[in-house]
A and B are shown apart, each in its own frame.
Chain A
Amino acid sequence: QQQVKQSPQSLIVQKGGISIINCAYENTAFDYFPWYQQFPGKGPALLIAIRPDVSEKKEGRFTISFNKSAKQFSLHIMDSQPGDSATYFCAAGGANAGKSTFGDGTTLTVKP
């Protein structure tokens, strides 16, 4: 049973556009929701994270939106750039949830 479902699997966006990646979780014990960015040949890098006591968190061009009642959270990349082309993973964890769980990843391509 997959506890974190991520969509879409791949995404193509024009330069300057908005990239949106969605994740849904099932375990209500999750209380920490990070997003990671991974470039080919590199390890994932923590991009931004949110706790369920806020509905939105913004860092530069990256924003997490969180909907606790729907058990969904999403990553928005504003003014997408070709350098944002990478694979993005959502994850969910919690001190009382045991181990963390990753989504399957989204390959983002930003066209010039």
Chain B
Amino acid sequence: EAQVTQNPRYLITVTGKKLTVTCSQNMNHEYMSWYRQDPGLGLRQIYYSMNVEVTDKGDVPEGYKVSRKEKRNFPLILESPSPNQTSLYFCASSYNDRGNTEAFFGQGTRLTVV
């Protein structure tokens, strides 16, 4: 089954404790991205990656890091989480011929930073 898998689905952490949200896709997609979704603010892109070792900032990259060492994986790293990073996070992927838009989204990771 074609899918984008995020882990964990739910996470509560404390301010400043480094965390990683993993994302993996099984469709051999070149393009992957991360979004956060907050009430009233829609979907905001954090980072995107056109292919292995190619990443770029989205609209709200501050406080986040990403890496793309393998085609299937695109982890999101919060080096020092803060309460304003409490949000619902989505990973997504697609082929590059779709104009850098997303074809598949993961189920989401609900992060709470206290």
Which B residues from 35 to 75 make CB contacts under 8 A with A?
Answer: 42-43, 45, 48, 56, 58-59
Write out the residue numbers on chain A whose beta carbons fall within 8 Å of the beta carbon of B105: 36, 43-45
Of all chain A residues, the one with the shortest Cβ separation from B40 is A104
Please, how many angstroms separate the alpha-carbon atoms of A49 and B27 in the complex? 19
Write out the residue numbers on chain B whose beta carbons fall within 8 Å of the beta carbon of A92: 99, 101
Q: How many residues of B contact A (CB 8 A)?
A: 24
The answer, among B96, B102, B104, for a CB contact under 8 Å with A100, is: B102
Would B42 and A46 count as touching, CB distance under 8 A? no
The answer, among B43, B48, B100, for a CB contact under 8 Å with A89, is: B43
Q: How many residues of A contact B (CB 8 A)?
A: 26
- Residue A95 at the chain B interface, CB threshold 8 Å: yes
Q: Which residues of B contact A (CB under 8 A)?
A: 4, 33, 42-43, 45, 48, 56, 58-59, 90, 92, 96-108
Q: Which residues of A contact B (CB under 8 A)?
A: 30-32, 34, 36, 41-46, 49, 89, 91-95, 97-100, 102-105
Q: Name 23 interchain pairs, CB-CB below 8 A, sorted by A.
A: A30-B99, A32-B98, A32-B100, A32-B101, A34-B101, A36-B105, A43-B92, A44-B43, A45-B105, A46-B102, A46-B103, A49-B101, A89-B43, A91-B101, A91-B102, A92-B99, A93-B100, A95-B100, A99-B33, A99-B58, A100-B33, A102-B42, A102-B43
